[in-house]
Amino acid sequence: MLIRKPSDIPSSAISSKDRYLNRRRFLRGAAGTIAATGAAALGAERLGEVFNPRITALAGTKLETVKSPLSTTGEDLTSLEDITHYNNFYEFGVGKGDPARNASGLPTRPWTVRVDGKVKNPKTFDIDTLLKLRPLEDRIYRHRCVEAWSMVIPWVGYSLSEFIKQCEPLSTAKYVQFLSYYDKSVEKWTSESTIFWPYSEGLRMDEAMHPLALLTFGLYGEVLPNQDGAPVRIVVPWKYGFKSAKSIVAVRFLDKEPPTTWNEQAPNEYGFYSNVNPNVDHPRWSQKTDRRIGVPFYAQRRTTLMFNGYGEQVASLYSGMDLKKNF
């Protein structure tokens, strides 16, 4: 089911979130609200409270950010409601509304990220150390799903390359692998047994070092809600969304291409590179258009852009490659 947002939010008016939240409070009436850290005077709701008031103890925590010159411009933002209630996070269910309902048991504090493989020295980063490593930036990116739907999301983070430099990879490291949190004891964890857990994703080193690749801690100026990959994930805007691993607990630097979850599941459908390429159809649907979530029905369908519209910045990474073969 498509959950429609009250109205489009232009990218020039990111602060209009408060008006959106006020309207939600009015519509929900006696259902109640929870004050957000740093916004008690406004009575701002926690992210995800619509489905579960315990979604995360940190939801609503403000992040200090600076504007980024790498933001996508000229796009209307997808509403907070849609971003937090229309999700792919199969650890918490295969339905789009399942993660918001089921992810409250994900423990986001304490949280560490282990680094090993082809590095000078293995090390472990605490989430709060990562948050302070570099100034956090507001970055508006298009988010494209292989299922032919899309959003425009105001992420918060800094270039993944800044984190990679702190990891001190060796010259023999050609790939970087990301492993997501997995614990069967977590409340309402999926019973989906056909997927090889934990979730694994990977990038070539030059892809990971590209300034657009984002180590991500929040959205709409606040910490990530659980269903969107709290407390830390990556965002790779020129690739399909499943390449942007959520709830990362380990980063490995390798000299060979790592196994990745969807490529292992269905190699004929999900290639390692998974760049947005309208000229390569998924075996079960066309990639030539996508459906923008949260806009009026007549305006949802739009033409798919090569590399999700980031070709000018990233096409050189794949110079000389057959992008139909290396899909």
Instruction: Please give the pLDDT value at position 261.
Output: 95
Instruction: Please give the pLDDT value at position 186.
Output: 82
Q: Is residue 257 part of a domain?
A: yes
Instruction: Please give the pLDDT value at position 191.
Output: 65
Instruction: Please give the pLDDT value at position 13.
Output: 39
Token representation of residue 173: 């490291």
* Nearest alpha-carbon partner for 82 in 50, 34, 37: 50
In the block, tokens 């159809």 appear at 281
Whichever domain contains 218, its CATH number is 3.90.420.10
Q: Is residue 179 part of a domain?
A: yes
Q: Give the model confidence (pLDDT) of 265-301 as tens digits.
A: 999 999 999 999 999 999 999 999 999 999 999 999 9
C-alpha to C-alpha distance for 117 and 251, rounded to whole angstroms = 8
DSSP string, 158-189: EEHHHHHHHH-B-TT--EEEEEE---TTSTT-
Q: Is residue 325 part of a domain?
A: no
Do the beta carbons of residue 138 and residue 274 sit within 8 Å? no
Domain that holds residue 77: 9-264
C-alpha to C-alpha distance for 274 and 207, rounded to whole angstroms = 12
Q: Is residue 295 part of a domain?
A: no
Instruction: Please give the pLDDT value at position 59.
Output: 58
pLDDT tens for the chain, 327 residues: list them.
343 443 443 443 343 444 334 333 333 332 332 222 222 222 222 223 333 333 344 557 899 999 999 999 999 999 999 999 999 999 999 899 999 999 999 999 999 999 999 999 999 999 999 999 999 999 999 999 999 999 999 999 999 999 999 999 999 999 999 999 998 888 677 666 678 889 999 999 999 999 999 999 999 999 999 999 999 999 999 999 999 999 999 999 999 999 999 999 999 999 999 999 999 999 999 999 999 999 999 999 999 999 999 999 999 999 999 999 999
- Structural domains counted in the chain: 1
In the block, tokens 């490593």 appear at 133
DSSP string, 266-320: -TTT--SS-B--TTS-BTTB--SEEEETTS-GGG-EEEPPGGGGTHHHHGGGGTT
Q: Is residue 313 part of a domain?
A: no
Instruction: Please give the pLDDT value at position 17.
Output: 45
Q: What is the pTM of this model?
A: 0.82
Radius of gyration of the chain, Cα coordinates, nearest whole angstrom? 19
